Structure 1
Amino acid sequence: MTLSYDLYWSFRSPYSYMVLPRLVALEAERDVRCEVRPVYPLAVRTPEFFETRDPLWTAYFMRDVFREAAFLGLPFRWPRPDPVRMENGSYRVEQPYIHRLTHLGVAAVERGRGLAFLSEASAVIWGGEVENWHEGGHLARAAERAGLDFPEMAAAVDADPAHFAAIVEANQTAQRAAGHWGVPMMVFNNEPFFGQDRFDQMVWRMGQQGLAGREGA
């Protein structure tokens, strides 16, 4: 029996980027299906979360993300530009990147290539080799590597942003109902696993429910 889980995921989360290789390998090797549910980052949803942090929070966070990427053997650099804009220490400004990027993720899900697009696009954004990931054909080539028709997908997103925004909002409501607000968050059998460091625990729990290898893997 194919097992499935929900993945709540943000394009602005470095830890979301870091868990993807393991999620992709899990689906390739085991009889598991990932239901991708993109959400907006906390900086957009609840900017006050960051406005009330202890100053040590940011310093530790920046140390930890680079350390964790090195530990996992993943290329990593903070995106240029950041998918979420900040001005004068505030995220309460116009956000030209993150909404469209998240909506593209939803469109990829609708076309059956959600996890593949997240993997390819996040490598472009976070992998450290691309300047101005939002310009030129960087996202288009990522979509093509994921098996998507980027011009068709982008046209759909631009033609009806309200449709995609509504799906993201529904994902965010479902995420909180499942037990947490952060990303990455995996939910298997109604049990939330928050953080990329909970991947092994999720697989352990799946093993208790008969996780099997994928035929031909």
Structure 2
Amino acid sequence: MRDVTLSFDLYWSFRSPYSYMVTGRLAALQRDYDVECHVRPVYPLAVRTPEFFEQQDPLWLSYFMTDVFREAEFLGLPFRWPRPDPVQRSPEEGYGMKQPHIHRLTHLGVEAVQRGRGLQFLDEVSRTIWGGEVDSWHEGDHLAQAAERAGLDFAEMAAAVEADPGRFAAVVEENQVAQRAAGHWGVPMMVFGGEAFFGQDRFDQLKSRMEAQDLRRR
């Protein structure tokens, strides 16, 4: 019988509805089983490679928008497209415009990881952004309340992010390089035992691999 805690890496974006959809299951997995999730926030494709969306077949978007709502309903999760979208787009610049929302969110995610509450922060914030009950999630104390539920001091986190954005951007870049080296570029992506599991619908397969390695309840 093994005597070490299992662990896996999670590559995750605040702009990904599918990232939101898997986070609750991953949080429950870490809570209930002897397994540790190493959260590695990344920027969404719209920021990393904005041309990705310009090159898609026109049917891609219509299918995607059907699928995300259908999948959320299937999983029993509240869902609405965020207001505002964490990634902004203009007719003139497309996704190449400044992106203050997603950079701030991603850097806050890095800070939460460094404070040892990364997955909890992702879970609470993604529910705030995608759950459909909060308008203007970026204003007021919505993020602060989410951070508090995750066991974090939002004021301290925000101050750290604002003081040295370059340091946080460098961590995100490291995560993105590691993500591709692990075998994929999309999110959510879990990596366990050197094997990449891309997509929220790969959760059961991920857990099955862990069970084969003597996954134990806490």
TM-score by length of 1: 0.98
- 1:81-115 deviation line (CA, Å, top 9, x unaligned): 00000111821111121001100000000000000
Q: Work out the CA distance in 1 between the residues paired with 2:67 and 2:91.
A: 24
The residue that corresponds to 1:186 in the other structure is 190
| Correspondence 1:63 to 2:55 | no
Is 1:13 aligned to residue 16 of structure 2? yes
Residue 23 of structure 1 deviates from its aligned partner by 0.4
In structure 2, the residue corresponding to 1:44 is in which secondary structure?
Answer: helix
Q: What is the aligned partner in structure 2 of residue 156 from structure 1?
A: 160
- Deviation of 1:138 after TM superposition, in Å, equals 0.3
Within 2, Cα distance between the matches of 1:196 and 1:122?
A: 14
Q: Is the counterpart of residue 210 in structure 1 residue 214 in structure 2? A: yes
Instruction: Give the equivalent residue in structure 1 for 2:108.
Output: 104
Residue deviations 1:112-144 (CA, integer Å, cap 9, x gap): 000000000000000000000000000001001
SS in 2 for 1:210: coil
SS at match of 2:87: coil
Alignment partners' CA distance in 2, 1:140 and 1:30: 28
State the partner residue of 2:169. Answer: 165
Offset of 1:177 from its aligned partner?
0.1
1:31, distance to aligned residue in structure 2 (A):
0.5
CA distance in 1, matches of 2:28, 2:160: 30
User: Aligned residues: percent identity?
Assistant: 74
Match of 2:141 in 1: 137
Pairwise CA distance, 1:210: 1.1
**Structure 2 residue 90 is the aligned partner of structure 1 residue 80:** no
- Superposition RMSD in Å: 0.7
1:28, distance to aligned residue in structure 2 (A)? 1.2
- Segment drifting more, 38-47 vs 86-95: 86-95
| Deviation of the 1:29 alpha carbon | 1.1
Counterparts of 1:24 and 1:165, CA distance in 2: 25
Question: Matched residue of 1:97: which SS?
Answer: helix
SS of 2:205's equivalent?
helix
Aligned equivalent of 2:37, options 19, 34, 41: 34
The 1-side partners of 2:127 and 2:178 are apart by 27
Q: Give the TM-score, by structure 2 length.
A: 0.97
C-alpha separation between the residues in 2 aligned to 1:164 and 1:92?
Answer: 20
1:49 alignment counterpart = 52
- Write the distance in 2 (CA, Å) between the matches of 1:127 and 1:8: 21
Over residues 161-213 of structure 1, what are the superposed CA-to-partner deviations in whole Å (9 max), with x where a residue is unaligned?
A: 00100000000000000000000000001100000000000000111111111
The one-letter amino acid paired with 2:30 is E
Residue identity in the other structure for 1:47:
P
